[in-house]
Chain A
C-alpha cells in the first residue's frame, strides 16, 4: 500500500452563501487496522481560515504546527490575519520547497476573504493549487467524494442546508472506503459564528446514529451547540 493510503482520510470543503464548511473523518488507521476514532485533521488558523490536511498522519501534525507557527509570526509582524489567498500561496511554497522529499499530505484550505466571500482550494503533495468555486475534496475517499458532492451540491446554500449537504456527502463517500470512517467532524463558518459538529456514523457510514455533539469555548466568534 502506498504511503498516501497508509493512514486513510476523507476531506471535503464546500462553499455556500457567504459561508463555507470543511468536513473530515476522524478515523486514524495503519493500513487496514483502525488505531483511533478521534483524530483531528481540520485545524483553525484564524477565525475565518481553516485548513484540513489529508494523508500521512505524521505529516498532518507536522504541517499543522508549521503553518500555525508561520501564521502567528505573520500576525506579530503585520498585526492582522492572513488572507486565504495569501495563505494558500504560503502553503504551496512550503510544499514545493520540499519537492525532493515531499510531505505526503494534501491540504484543503477554506476561508472567508474580502467582503466575506468564501475561498476554497486544495493542493497535491507538491503544492499545485486547485481552486474551485463549489467544492474541493482530498483523501483516500476522494473519488467517492467527488461523486457525492457533484450530486448534492447547489450554489448559494444557506448555512443550515450547507451543513446538511456536507454531512451527507461525507457520510455517503466514507461508506465506500475501507480506509476512512468512524465519525466525522464538520466546521461551518459564517461571518458571525463558527459551528462545530461531530457526526457519529458507523464504519462504512451505515444508517447512522446522527447524534451530533459540539462544544467548545472560544475566542471572539460566537460558537453554537448543535444537535443535528
Chain B
C-alpha cells in the first residue's frame, strides 16, 4: 500500500545521525541511575531459585563404595526422609545399570533413577554400535556430560559409578554440579562423615570379599546410628570380574543389637532421679 507507516517514520526520526556518535552512547543521569538502582535491587530470577530449592532435597542418605584387591564393594542404606518424616525404609539406593555396572543414589530419587536408566540405555547402544562393552571411564563420562549440561537447573544427583571392565575395577564419583572424580574410596550423603570414619580406619587394599563386605556393612551401620536421615536396611553389593552380586541386606536395628548386645544389669541408682549436673 502507499500510505505512510507512522511508526516507521518515528523509527527513522529516532535513528538520526546524532545518536550514533559515541559520546551520546551512555550517560549517568537521573533516568539511568533510577533504572540501575531498580536493576541491582530486584531479584528477577528469585522465583526460579525458590523453585529449585523447593525441589532439591537434602541428600539425606549414606552410600559408599571402595575398590580393593578383589573388586569393588558398594553399600547403601535405604531410608527416604522428607525433613523429619520418614517416607520410606525400603528404598533401593543401589541401581543396577547393567549386569557389570552399579550406580548409587543420593540426592533426588527421581533424578538418580531416571538418569541411571538413561545411562544404561546409552551403554547398551554403545555395546551394539562398537561390539564391545563400554568402560567405566566412558560410562561415567557420558553421565557427567549430561549432568553438566543441566547444571544450575535444579537436578540433585550425587552418584558413584562402580563397575568392572577390561582394565579391572573402576570407581567414579559424579555429581549434578558437573564434577567427576576417579578414586578408590568414596562416601556420599548426609551420613558420609560417619561412614568415612569407620571406612578409612578399617580399609586395607588386600582384604578378602567377606572382610570387605563386613567393613562396608559396619560403616553403613555406624552412619545410620549417628545420622537421623539414614536408616532402614544396609545393603552390600560386590562387583567382580563376572559382574555384580548382592551379598547382604540387613536391618540396621538388628545390626545394632548384634554388634552391641544389651547386657541386663542391675541399676543401683534411682532411674527417676537425674544425677546432679
A interface residues, Cβ below 8 angstroms from B: 5, 8, 29, 31-34, 40, 43-44, 61, 64-65, 140, 175-179, 181, 196, 200-209, 211, 213, 215-218
Contacts and interface: CB of A to CB of B under 8 A. Distances in A.
B274 interface: yes
A194 B264 CA distance: 20
B85 A176 contact: yes
Contact of A202 (B85, B228, B252, B271): B252
Nearest to B232: A204
B224 interface: yes
B254 A44 contact: no
B39 to A, nearest CB: 35
Interface in B209-232: 224-229, 231-232
A216 B254 contact: no
B84 interface: yes
By CB atoms of chain B within 10 A, which of A33, A44, A201 has the most?
Answer: A33
B10 interface: no
27 contacts: A32-B60, A32-B227, A34-B227, A40-B271, A43-B272, A43-B274, A61-B277, A177-B85, A177-B86, A178-B79, A178-B81, A178-B229, A179-B84, A196-B271, A201-B253, A203-B253, A206-B89, A206-B253, A208-B253, A209-B253, A209-B257, A211-B262, A213-B262, A213-B264, A215-B265, A215-B271, A217-B270
Nearest to A31: B228
A175 B84 contact: no
Contacts of A33: 226-228
A181 B252 CA distance: 13
Interface of B: 60, 79, 81, 84-86, 89, 190, 224-229, 231-232, 251-257, 262, 264-268, 270-272, 274, 277
B86 A32 contact: no
B16 to A, nearest CB: 62
What are the 5 closest A-B residue pairs judged by CB atoms, nearest first?
A202-B253, A206-B253, A178-B228, A32-B228, A44-B272
A155 to B, nearest CB: 28
Given A178-B79, A202-B255, 20 more contacts: A5-B84, A8-B84, A32-B60, A40-B274, A175-B89, A178-B81, A178-B86, A178-B228, A178-B229, A178-B231, A201-B253, A202-B254, A202-B256, A202-B257, A203-B228, A203-B253, A206-B251, A213-B264, A215-B267, A216-B270
By CB atoms of chain A within 10 A, which of B86, B89, B254 has the most?
Answer: B86
Contacts of A215: 265-267, 271
A5 B268 CA distance: 33
Given A206-B254, A209-B254, A34 B86 contact: no
Contact of A34 (B228, B265, B268): B228
Main secondary structure of the interface of B (DSSP, over half): loop
By CB atoms of chain B within 10 A, which of A178, A200, A203, A215 has the most?
Answer: A203
A34 B194 CA distance: 11
A6 to B, nearest CB: 11
Contact of B270 (A5, A8, A29, A218): A218
B117 to A, nearest CB: 28
Nearest to B268: A217
A201 B89 CA distance: 15
Nearest to B79: A204
Nearest to A45: B272
A215 B85 CA distance: 33
Nearest to A141: B84
A64 to B, nearest CB: 7
Nearest to B231: A204
B224 A203 contact: yes
Given A33-B226, A34-B228, A203 B256 contact: yes
A216 B271 contact: yes
Nearest to B263: A213
A177 B262 contact: no
A32 B277 CA distance: 25
